[in-house]
Structures are given as structure tokens and as C-alpha cells.
Amino acid sequence: MNAPARESEARPIDDLGPAGRFSSAWKRDEPLARHTSMRVGGPADLFCEVASDEELGAWIAWGRERAMPVFLLGGGTNLIVGDRGIRGLVLKLGRRFVRTEWTIEGDDARVVVGAAANFKRVVLDTLERGFTGLEFGEGIPGTIGGGVIMNAGAFGGEIGEVVEAICGVDANGNPSRLPREALHFSYRHLALPAGFVVTALEVHLRRGDREEIQARAAEARRRRGLRQPLGQPNAGSIWKNPPGDFAGRLIEQVGLQGEQVGGAQISPRHANFIVNTGSATAADIRALMDLTRDRVWAARGVWLEPEVRLVGEW
């Protein structure tokens, strides 16, 4: 007689928690390089695109019961995922979380935006309707959920300025709504309870002059096109700007523009961008970041803080 299988081997596949209760596809060992704009990153142990709040809550609760780390992936445009990937469960919000609902009263619009909605599309929608407040975001890739977590901003605007409330699921998998008073936005940061997943934002916009709004957006587009290496895989600004200065300017001053480690290069177009020239690993990018931080610290006495998030195993 065969020895009894260990519990983990004996467990059938649809005991994989909510996998058996919901029809969404889940995968083992999904390469995360496919899901990040930098095109690097090893596999997620378990990866699932969830289709409803209920399914999201069920996976989170299931992970928590097993002390399994749970990571929420947005558009992957602000992430460097380690070459060994992410242990535990990686969740992505599916199409159900893209929906946007507008309520317009006079010159005020209250918009409920699903967290998986594409930031650029939401901006486009506001431009077409002639509402002001988000035009700074013209050209910011990724999801609106990732945008609020990062308090994404550009050219003097930040998403935090127009957010009235955040809806989501807490670390136990229960639905939750956080009003503006409970939200603490700072430069490229929003302090949220640990493990909170954003499923929708409530945003307040005001009617503006359509031509002026579109002109501001066009100017943002022009400035991006001029300096950013948009044709190569990247993750946006690597470093936060230190108070009163620009990270890109400091990196230029220490002579690192164009510097390369393996397949990672400090962009010759914009020194605060690292591009993947085709064969970069996450380790190359990290080594280039370490080199930059050391050189800027030694030469200028400024300690650069990453804007990108480094996640997973290295």
C-alpha cells in the first residue's frame, strides 16, 4: 500500500480556496514580467484576476487564514518586481472593476471610478466632458487604483486633490469605505490601513472651460513626449524629487546619464528614468539604482528615495 500523501499533496485543486467557487481563471507561477511596464520580474506563486467584490474578499480572507502574503497588482507601471518573483497570492482586478459612473449637478460632477479603470482613459473622458481636476494626469499609465495608492501627480496636480472617498476591501476581506477625512495624501503616497485593496474612487470634479482644459492636457502631453523615453520599457520616475530639487538634475550632475548595468540604462533622454534596453533583469535595475544613490550621496549629500516600488524576492 502507498504511504498516505502529505496533506498539501492530497489537497485537490479546487480546494485552492475560492478557485472552486468562482469561475475566474487563476494560474500558478505566472511570470510577472508580462504584467509590468519595465518587463522584468519572476513568477507569482498564485495569480488570479478576480471578477467581483465577493471573489476579491474571498481570496483575501483565504490568504489571510493561511498567513499567505497577498499582493494587489494594478497596471504594473510603478513596480520593479524581483527576478525570483512574488511569494503567495497576486491578485489583479478584472473588467468588472473598470466601470465609471458620472452624476452631474450644475457645474459639479461626482464620478465613481472603478479601480481597474485606465488612468489615461479616465482623463480623456473628463477632457471630453469639459470637467477640470484631472488634466495633469494626461499620459500617466496604469490604473486609477494604482494612481490613488501612489497619489500620482504631474505638472503641479495630484489625484489626491479630487478624491472624496475610497471604496475597497479590508485585510479581512470585508467591504469598507474611507471618506476624505480618513485619507492622508502626501507626495506620491497615500497612507491606508495595511492590506486595504481599493476597488473604486469617488471623485469630485468641476466644470471648466473646455478649451483651457484641453490646452493644459496638450501641454502635459507635449512635455512628456519631449523628454520621456516612451518607446522603451520603463517604470516612470525612479526617484522622488528631493525637496527643492530634481532627482534627474542631480543624476545628470554626477555624470550618470546613459550609465548602464547589464540591460538596464539610465535614459539618455531623462536621467530620472531607467529603461530596459531589451535584456535587463530586476537585479540590473537594482544595481543601477544602488550605484545612482551612492554616487549622488557621495557627490551631493542627497539621499534619493525611490518613487518606484521594489517588491518580491531578489
Ligand X SMILES: Cc1cc2nc3c(=O)[nH]c(=O)nc-3n(C[C@H](O)[C@H](O)[C@H](O)COP(=O)(O)OP(=O)(O)OC[C@H]3O[C@@H](n4cnc5c(N)ncnc54)[C@H](O)[C@@H]3O)c2cc1C
Annotated catalytic residues are 188, 237, 307
Stretch that binds ligand X, among 16-24, 61-69, 75-83, 258-266 (CB under 6 A): 75-83
Distance CA 247, CA 293 (A): 10
Using an 8 Å Cβ cutoff, are 100 and 114 in contact? yes
Q: Which of 17, 236, 248, 312 binds ligand X (CB under 6 A)?
A: 236
State the CB neighbour count (10 A cutoff) for residue 2.
4
CB of 34 vs ligand X, minimal distance in Å: 13
Closest to ligand X by CB, 235 or 251? 235
Q: Which of 63, 76, 114, 133 binds ligand X (CB under 6 A)?
A: 76
Stretch that binds ligand X, among 57-65, 200-208, 229-237, 246-254 (CB under 6 A): 229-237
Residue 75 in contact with ligand X, rule: CB under 6 A? yes
C-alpha cell at 195: 492590506
Residue 248 in contact with ligand X, rule: CB under 6 A? no
Name which of residues 107 to 126 contact ligand X (CB under 6 A). 115, 119
Residue 44 in contact with ligand X, rule: CB under 6 A? no
Q: Which of 19, 40, 78, 247 binds ligand X (CB under 6 A)?
A: 78
Residue 74 in contact with ligand X, rule: CB under 6 A? yes
Contacts of 149 (CB under 8 A, 6+ apart): 74, 190, 192, 198
Closest to ligand X by CB, 24 or 228? 228
Number of amino acids touching ligand X (CB under 6 A): 34
Name which of residues 137 to 176 contact ligand X (CB under 6 A). 140-143, 145-147, 149-150, 152-154
Q: Which of 110, 309, 310, 314 binds ligand X (CB under 6 A)?
A: 309
CB of 12 vs ligand X, minimal distance in Å: 30
CB of 222 vs ligand X, minimal distance in Å: 14
Residue 232 in contact with ligand X, rule: CB under 6 A? no
CB-based closest residue to ligand X: 146
Name which of residues 180 to 199 contact ligand X (CB under 6 A). 188, 197-198
Q: Which residues in this chain contact ligand X in the complex, by CB under 6 A?
A: 37, 71-79, 93, 115, 119, 140-143, 145-147, 149-150, 152-154, 188, 197-198, 228, 230, 234-236, 309
